[in-house]
Amino acid sequence: MRMIDIMKSVEKIIGQKASLNEIRDLVSDEWTMLDQEIEKQLSSDIELINSISQYIVESGGKRIRPLIVLLSAKACGASDTDRVVKAAAMIEFIHTATLLHDDVVDNSDSRRGIKTAHQSFGNESTILVGDFLYSRAFQIMVQINNMDIMEVMSDATNTIAEGEVLQLINSGNPNTNKEQYLEVIYRKTGKLFEAAMVVGGLLSNQSQTVINTLQICGKELGMAYQIVDDVLDYSSSFEVMGKDVGDDLSEGKVTLPMIYALERATPDMQDIISQAILKKDSKDAEQIIACIQSTGSIASSINDARDKTEFALHSMQSLDNSKYKKALISLAEIILHRTY
């Protein structure tokens, strides 16, 4: 079944597309409980931890991953709201910890339009608070008291760490290929989306068949999300994204649009791009971005993200129809077509 057939099927199920706010409204009670749970779990006797944690909470963010936990659990019929909310907070803490560590490793100046935590509080404090969030997430896992979830999450955190190392190895390497890139984004992004979907199913005592479906769906959605994110680095603006366009170039990250551009550019342009990656130098960013756009590399990358979204939607069809399944389908569409 190709994308056009799947989308026709999806349109019959979903009807009018929902916005992100409308999707959140569907789980509004749980969303309020999530805010309360995050605030409670962030509390510490150490004032610096409270300061950085509050800074993180107030910096915004779409909280896509915890939303996936809530929707997946609801779609699968979970009844223990307290454990579902705790699981959503757990996923958000792990995601936030990875962001804190990422910003230090990448020396990023801004995220979501504001200064990154390490710019405000220093590298040492930011890394240690990231560690605090990781450890707090595992404390929440103990509170949930589900060995299957602990197994999924311990595997996920290990995979994410491996992804960080792989990305570091590939940094500054213009010979990074598509297969290597996909491996990194699966480990760094797809794995946590996958875990978020699976945890929802595990909290609902679903069969292994359903869990496998959720696993595929989460993985593909997460990888589509990251591909779109990497596309936006060369096609959006600071005002929209909250970070400088071309940041990936200055960090020596070889993402999918760059890989396609290197395959299609003239020899002279290939040399310019390769040198920029090797030196982690964005002085030629304007020329390189123009090359990425003119070679169709943006369109090819979006097509890859669309294929992954198609695969996710196809796997989602096996779930029972419900308003929460509709919301997951809408969320997949939002992920594919987002602009920030």
Sorted by where each begins, the domain ranges of the chain are: 6-332
Tens of pLDDT, residue by residue, the chain (340 residues): 444 444 444 444 445 578 999 999 999 999 999 999 998 998 888 888 888 877 777 776 789 999 999 999 999 999 999 999 999 999 999 999 998 888 887 776 665 557 777 676 778 888 888 899 999 999 999 999 999 999 999 999 999 999 999 999 999 999 999 999 999 999 999 999 999 999 999 999 999 999 999 999 999 999 999 999 999 988 865 444 444 556 788 889 999 999 999 999 999 999 999 999 999 988 898 899 999 999 999 999 999 999 999 999 999 988 999 999 999 999 999 999 988 7
Q: Where are the beta strands (DSSP E) in 110-262?
A: 110-111, 114-115
Q: Where are the beta strands (DSSP E) in the chain?
A: 110-111, 114-115
Contacts of 236 (CB under 8 A, 6+ apart): 245, 339, 340
The pLDDT, as a whole number, for residue 59 is: 72
3-state secondary structure of 114: strand
Contacts of 135 (CB under 8 A, 6+ apart): none
Class of domain 6-332: mainly alpha
